[in-house]
Amino acid sequence: MSAPDDPRLLGRDVRRIAFDEATLRARVAELGREITAAYPDGDLLVLGLLKGSFVFLADLVREIQRPLHVDFLVASSYGDATVSSGDVRLVYDPETVLEGQHILLVEDIIDSGRTLSTLLALMTLRAPRSIEICALLHKRIAKELSHPVRFVGFDAPNEFLVGYGLDHAENFRHLPYVASLR
Ligand code: IMP
Ligand code: MG
């Protein structure tokens, strides 16, 4: 499947659509049900990792049928490259108090796992009641992630993916599907 006629693509052809809109919608709804069932009590803080998680998070929180708060983290690691540099910095830190809360860290895609390992270490220092990860996509190649990823949308192919929040050099975040680049 390709999308050569999509005016959102800057004239660039994509290799293929990896996850189309209907597939994403159905799985996000299921994740919402899984997350709803996993938290019977306590405050839930959904922490989105910007920018990549913004589309996924917006859809996901509307599928979670319990009270919750939303905040964001901004970490920087890739720049414009398609390969992780391993240098992860926190450039926005939430003002919300994390102590005693159930935290659900929402990530677009797990590649090397470096971003999440670094953030988990930082978040754990603030004594949350629990901390879990929800990733839309997981490449299953992360060697550096010791914490299990509790909620995963899809296993991802080892290709560079864009759309539904994921970018290449800030392009393609607004695609309603996930595609792989040539
Ligand atoms: P990690 O630290 O290597 O696990 O990389 C995670 C971050 O890199 C994600 O939050 C994404 O922003 C970015 N990333 C990793 N793989 C891809 C991809 O295939 N497409 C777009 N961004 C990616
Ligand atoms: Mg990115």
Ligand 1 mean position, distance from CA 39 (Å): 27
**What's the pLDDT score for residue 143?**
81
Q: Which ligand is nearest to the CA of 156?
A: 1
Q: Give the ligand with the smallest distance to the CA of 117.
A: 1
Q: Exposure of 114 by Cβ count < 10 A (0-12 exposed, 13-18 middle, 19+ buried)?
A: buried
Pairing of strands 14-19, 161-162: unpaired
Ligand 1 in reach of 171 Cβ (< 6 A): no
**pTM of full prediction above 0.75:** yes
pLDDT, position 144: 76
Per-residue pLDDT, 92: 73
Buried b (16+ CB within 10 A) or exposed e, 152-182: bbbebeeebbbbbbbbbeeebbebebbbbbe
pLDDT of residue 3: 54
Could you give the strand order of the β-sheet that contains 161-162, starting from the edge strand earlier in sequence?
A: 14-19, 178-181, 161-162
Q: What is the pLDDT of residues 95-144, one digit of tens each?
A: 788 899 999 999 999 998 988 898 898 899 989 999 999 999 999 888 87
- Report pLDDT digits (tens) over 11-58: 787 899 999 999 999 999 999 999 999 999 888 999 999 999 999 999
